[in-house]
Amino acid sequence: MPSYIALLRGINVAGHNPVAMSDLRDLFAELGFTGTKSLLQSGNLVFHSDRPAGVALESRLEKETLKRLNISADYIVRSAKEWERIVAGNPFPNEAKNSPNHLVAMFLKSAPAAANVAALQAAIQGPESLRCDGCHLYIVYPAGIGRSKLTGNLIEKKLGVRGTARNWNTILKLAALCESLL
């Protein structure tokens, strides 16, 4: 059975949308997914499903999470094979090796228009750099994320697409967790 990674956007951040990972694992089990494991408290789940990933699965998870846990959150789901391609396609290998906490991938609900990506790149005011690859961005924050003007809100506003970001350490941990389910 195929493995998937589900990322939740906007939970357990600064007290907003608090949810226990055990509640999410239970929800996934109730929905018929198997082998569900979570990583950290920020909404990272790995699971098996015979259903293909995509908008329909994301929508179902969003509706069921709202209905059963009273939590409104976006889900972004990628297959294990997609995740492998994301890791292998990283255009910033030196940053991944030397400073993985300053490299993030932002997973988007849909692919942004090229003009919107250009507008986002033009809006960068600091040392950050980014590359877009379909439904995700790779972003390097050489001076750190905390003080950067390249915020999630700015990115979503310029792209016109919602998304959620994970640092490279978390991305690699999720890849390993997904591999452990095989």
What mean pLDDT comes out for the span 111-135?
96
Confidence bin at 15 (pLDDT 50/70/90) = low
φ, ψ dihedrals at 16, nearest 5°: -90, 135
What mean pLDDT comes out for the span 15-41?
86
Token pair for residue 21?
A: 């990972």
Token pair for residue 149?
A: 């003007």
Please report, rounded to a whole number, the percentage of residues in the chain having pLDDT higher than 70: 97
Q: How far apart are CA 111 and CA 139, in angstroms?
A: 16
Q: How far apart are CA 149 and CA 55, in angstroms?
A: 30
Would you say the CATH fold of 84-178 matches that of 3-83?
yes
Within 10 angstroms of residue 49's Cβ, the number of other Cβ atoms is 21
Give the tens place of pLDDT for each residue, 36-53: 999 877 789 999 988 777
Of the CA atoms within 13 Å of residue 100, those in its CB half-sphere come to: 12
Is pLDDT larger for residue 72 or for residue 117? 117
Residue 43 Rama label (left phi>0; alpha psi -120 to 50; beta): left
Give the tens place of pLDDT for each residue, 69-116: 888 889 999 999 999 999 999 999 999 999 999 999 999 999 999 999
For tokens 């789901």, the residue is 77
Confidence bin at 163 (pLDDT 50/70/90) = very high
In this prediction, residue 87 carries a pLDDT of: 97
CATH 1.10.10 is right for the domain spanning 84-178: no
In this prediction, residue 11 carries a pLDDT of: 74
- CATH fold, domain 3-83, is Alpha-Beta Plaits (3.30.70)
Angle at 15 between CA 10 and CA 17, to 5 degrees: 45
In this prediction, residue 182 carries a pLDDT of: 63
Is pLDDT larger for residue 148 or for residue 18? 148
Within 10 angstroms of residue 50's Cβ, the number of other Cβ atoms is 9
In this prediction, residue 39 carries a pLDDT of: 87
In this prediction, residue 2 carries a pLDDT of: 87
Domain borders along the chain are 3-83, 84-178
